[in-house]
A and B are shown apart, each in its own frame.
Chain A
Amino acid sequence: MKKRIEKMRGEFTVALQAAAVPEDAEKVRVAFLGKKGALTEVLKGMKDLTPDERREVGALSNALKDEFERMLATRAAELGRGEIEKKLAAEWEDISWPSGLSRGAAHPIAVIRRRVKEIFVSMGFEVLDGPEMEEEVNNFDKLNIPPDHPARDAQDTFWLDNGMLLRTHTSPVQVRGMLSHTPPFKFIAPGKVYRNEAVDASHEHTFHQIEGMVVDRNISVAHLIYSMKTLLTGIFEKEVEVRLRPGFFPFVEPGFELDIKCLICGGKGCSVCKQSGWLELMPCGMVHPVVLRNGGIDTEEFSGFAFGLGLERLVMMKYGIDDIRLFHGADLRFFTQF
């Protein structure tokens, strides 16, 4: 009996070595360890043995069964690895083949607008919106632009046949914002604006602004300068140097032109900044008392500042775009770049 068991080990080893694929190893398992397998038969025949013999053969054959199972597992792993290797040898990808993913893009104006919005919202500003087709009174009168002002001429403003106009700036949202809010408040208002201009590489009749307005107690020019610096540092993601010059706009007093140190030459003077080292970026100022009063605000208690940021200018500077017509040009060779 013991001999038979010993012999079985030899037979098993040979059979297992001969297995070429995982299925062969399985057949070997069935032949020895299956329901009618050789080792199983041995165990079945143990009932005819004496208790001593039974103990001895039982221990032997159980040890052998464990050994067979270990050997089977090892062999199966070997054979399996072979299978994987075969598969690996047969399979290959051209990693340079395009994925077929078509990349979309938001309009560059929308990208900057979102960035500016994020900066202001993080500083606690509300985002307002106003109509593009406006009343004359909101676009001009309430902003302290007198009836004879040249801006009202048809050569500057698109007048509509329903007596309204296409807003020439986002400033009418100041009026709407003041009337719908109780001070103190602070908001921005991005939007499309229109001027009756001949279109060329640097002029557009349709463009975008972001209006901003802060009304609170004791708002000063120092606050305005701080806020503009913070905004521009956020947009350009680096410290920018700014300066204020006097600028005249009927709805602010004092009014300013805000310049930033030329980003192209760093202030040394180049063709972009016309050798001045500075780029004119946005008009801003302390809200004119007449405008505040038109918005129902008590000028004894409150003051405020406002600004109008031209987005096209900013985008053109950021990406080095030299033709403003591209923004409304619908050419995908341009838009897929953002």
Chain B
Amino acid sequence: MILLIDTTNEGIGKKIASELVNSSRGKSYEYIDASNMNISHCVGCNFCWLKTPGQCVIKDEYEPLLKKMSKADQVWLISDTKFGFVSYKAKNIVDRVMPIVTMNLHMVGNQMRHITRYDKNPNWGVIYSGDGDKDYLSWWCERVAINFGSKSLGVFSEKEYKEAISCM
């Protein structure tokens, strides 16, 4: 399952989703327009690690989305850019992924990481519009994937969407 989470006001992911169908590669996908969803920022309470392990205490529209992310093979975050980085809306979605890792730590390679809660974890990709700092976004996406026990699928500008589709 490929999950496309679109936080852009222009809904640039819609075009990508329809191209994905046309490319007829027979992969299942779900497109989610998250631009107007009621999703709070992470408040850093640590409850998802220490009080209600695996569950966020903020009851907004995020939980069903996280559940889908947790079960997906690929998560593509589609975002506007600000300061060369993803928008705060997209970052909020990533900050709140924490319930899928546990409080407990282990060493992965030469750095410490949280132990993932589930055996399966999605790979992560980014598609961005606007003036994104691609090198930075690529580094960040790789680091995000390491934290969630998976791999980066790469970072692509809106114009490079066909390349992104070839990675799906």
Query: Bound pair: A and B?
Result: no
> Which A residues are closer than 8 A to B by beta carbons?
none
